[in-house]
Amino acid sequence: MIEPSQVRRKIAIPLISPRRAAGTLRHRSVHRAALASFVFVASAASVCFADTQVGATLPPAPSVLYGDLFVAVQTAQIYPDQKTFVDATPNADPAAIVQLYEQQKNNPGFSLASFVNQYFTPPSEPVITPPANQTLREHINWLWPALTRTTTSAPPNSSLIPLPKPYVVPGGRFREGYYWDTWFTMLGLQEAGREDLVDNMLDNFAYEIDTFGHIPNGNRTYYLDRSQPPFFSYMVTLAAKVEGGKVYQKYLPALRKEYAYWMQGADSTKPGDATRNVVVMPDHTVLNRYWDELDTPRDESYLEDVKTAQQATGRSPNEVYRELRATAESGWDFSSRWFGDNMTLATVRTTSIIPVDLNSLMFHLETTIARGCGETRDVRCVGEFAERAAKRAMGINRYLWNAKGYYGDYDWQLAKPRENKTAAMLYPLFVGAAWPERARKTARQVQSTLLQPGGLVTTTYNTTQQWDAPNGWAPLHWIAVEGLKRYGHDALAQQIGTRFLADVKGVYASDRKLVEKYVVEGAGTGGGGGGEYPLQDGFGWTNGVTLKLLDLYSPGE
């Protein structure tokens, strides 16, 4: 048997850029080809095993780094959660581990589980034990340090991407920072007087935009091929509330670079076609969709994606994988909102859908860039982005208004509105792109179809997916409250906010924790379910929104 230390002296692994790593993975056959390029013997070669530092070239994603070993581990479900292996740290050089696996896998009595336990260290699961008798507010403020991470370096060949400043993670299985989660977390941090963390996370995102050209889904190598709902402009606006207009000027280059990422191909795409995140409508209106660079199973959900593709009759696996990945970029993974038949994950068609939330956020990004250009007295830029925002608002009200009385998504390939009534209908109100009469009609639809005893239900379909009934989510409640208040529907906003707050209080009273999502139908007093993983505790965005709702509707608590 060859010891890892013996192999380590002979094997070198070329580290590759995140962009190249994202483009390397295509099919399992490519895994083998990639493996051949990663593993080579060079007697004179030396290998550096130092930690990955901020700014260093990153290793490939685990699916590329381990090839067939990765497929074997995820298929065998060595860990109950597919995310565990891709967050694990190798105990030896990855090429050495792969070579040992190839040598041993066909031996009598070979145990894949024992092999993985020997050569990988799974991520630690910190136990958070709060003091007794904390109020809800005290508990949230106590949690901030427990959820804060400083990772200016990462273990060798870890999937973790180092960041220059401290940041807050959601909690539970989510051991890294997440893009759209962070804005809702920042709301609470600012309420708690932690402007330092707000600024730190803004700097981290600006660093990621500068380094990768966009903000990844999360700071893991396997998230680099996609982004998430673009809330960076809202983060800048949040900081500017305290720190003034200089914040717009400071982050203007990052805002413009993120906008360029989302708008790639806008100038070269023909009407009626799409390129990456851009869709150009027949009348030349430019809108956006969710997209992912890859068409392979997600590293963190490999087996789930393979099974979904097997259930998708008449569709190529790669088509399904692209759709699943695009849905992960939406943050609503998964929901009837993206399904062709409104019920079945295997009918997912996210890239065919122009989402009302994404285009509302792009409207805010355009207006924020105009504001930043105003701070720098760049009159031409102000005019350009004010015009872009105006055209976006017209596009929202043309294509993302359903004649039945609410804002919603549009299927650009079928050239018709989606009929799903979802909590995303409130985004045009939230960003100020809604027409007043349409805002009133949307509020009426929310009250009649989505309002439940425990708050706002995410959709009207119960599919066992987590972004469907009976679940409600903190971020969507804050979008609703702010959007309705903006258009003068304060009573409905208060109904939604206080009902959800009561739900959060109920779970905290019984379980002494905040969770990722809640059941809002029926009694509305329990943690939510469904989806690919168990209910997670923590929880960053619930903490942030709860503090805002407490200050708004229960200031004495």
Looking at residue 27, its pLDDT comes to: 40
What predicted TM-score, i.e. pTM, was given to this entire model? 0.92
Say which residue the tokens 């989505």 belong to.
Answer: 450
Looking at residue 128, its pLDDT comes to: 83
Give the pLDDT band of residue 9 (cuts 50, 70, 90).
Answer: very low
Give yes or no for residue 209 having a pLDDT over 60: yes
Is position 503 annotated as part of the catalytic site?
no
Looking at residue 213, its pLDDT comes to: 98
Higher pLDDT pick, 55 / 276: 276
Catalytic position from the list 87, 93, 357, 516 = 516
359 is in an annotated binding site: no
173 is in an annotated binding site: yes
304 is in an annotated binding site: no
Helices (H) and strands (E) in the chain, counts: 22, 21
Question: pLDDT tens-digit profile of 84-114?
Answer: 999 999 999 999 999 999 999 999 999 999 9
Q: Phi and psi (nearest 5°) for 465?
A: -85, 150
Give yes or no for residue 134 having a pLDDT over 80: yes
**One-letter amino acid for residue 310 of the chain:** Q
Q: How many other β-carbons are positioned within 10 Å of the β-carbon of residue 15?
A: 16
Helix orientation angle between 195-212 and 246-262, rounded to the nearest 10 degrees: 40
Say which residue the tokens 């925002």 belong to.
Answer: 389
Question: pLDDT tens-digit profile of 350-364?
Answer: 999 999 999 999 999
Looking at residue 49, its pLDDT comes to: 55
Question: What average pLDDT score do residues 2-27 get?
Answer: 34
**One-letter amino acid for residue 173 of the chain:** R
Catalytic position from the list 176, 333, 357, 409 = 333
181 is in an annotated binding site: yes
Question: What average pLDDT score do residues 369-389 get?
Answer: 98
Looking at residue 147, its pLDDT comes to: 96
Give yes or no for residue 38 having a pLDDT over 90: no
Question: pLDDT tens-digit profile of 516-548?
Answer: 999 999 876 799 999 999 999 999 999 999 999
Looking at residue 47, its pLDDT comes to: 36
Question: pLDDT tens-digit profile of 315-331?
Answer: 999 999 999 999 999 99
Q: How many residues does the chain have?
A: 557
Give yes or no for residue 553 having a pLDDT over 90: yes
Give the pLDDT band of residue 348 (cuts 50, 70, 90).
Answer: very high
Give yes or no for residue 28 having a pLDDT over 90: no
Question: pLDDT tens-digit profile of 159-207?
Answer: 999 999 999 999 999 999 999 999 999 999 999 999 999 999 999 999 9
Q: State percent of the chain over pLDDT 90.
A: 88
Find the range with the poorest average confidence among 36-40, 271-275, 409-413, 486-490: 36-40
Give the pLDDT band of residue 50 (cuts 50, 70, 90).
Answer: confident
Cα dist from 18 to 59, 100, 264, whole Å? 8, 26, 18
Question: What average pLDDT score do residues 119-140 get?
Answer: 93
Question: pLDDT tens-digit profile of 277-315?
Answer: 999 999 999 999 999 999 999 999 999 999 999 999 999
Asked if residues 435 and 405 have their Cβ atoms less than 8 Å apart, the reply is: no
Question: What average pLDDT score do residues 119-138 get?
Answer: 93
Is position 333 annotated as part of the catalytic site?
yes
Structure tokens at 420: 């799903």
Give the C-alpha separation, 354 to 287, whole Å: 7
Structural domain spans, the chain: 4-121
Give the C-alpha separation, 335 to 302, whole Å: 19
Q: State percent of the chain over pLDDT 70.
A: 91
Give yes or no for residue 17 having a pLDDT over 50: no
532 is in an annotated binding site: yes
Looking at residue 126, its pLDDT comes to: 79
180 is in an annotated binding site: yes
Question: pLDDT tens-digit profile of 414-467?
Answer: 999 999 999 999 999 999 999 999 999 999 999 999 999 999 999 999 999 999
Cα dist from 251 to 107, 148, 215, 261, 263, whole Å? 57, 23, 14, 16, 18
Find the range with the poorest average confidence among 5-9, 151-155, 262-266, 349-353: 5-9
Q: How many other β-carbons are positioned within 10 Å of the β-carbon of residue 212?
A: 18
Looking at residue 3, its pLDDT comes to: 34
**Mean pLDDT over the full length of the chain:** 92
Give yes or no for residue 25 having a pLDDT over 80: no
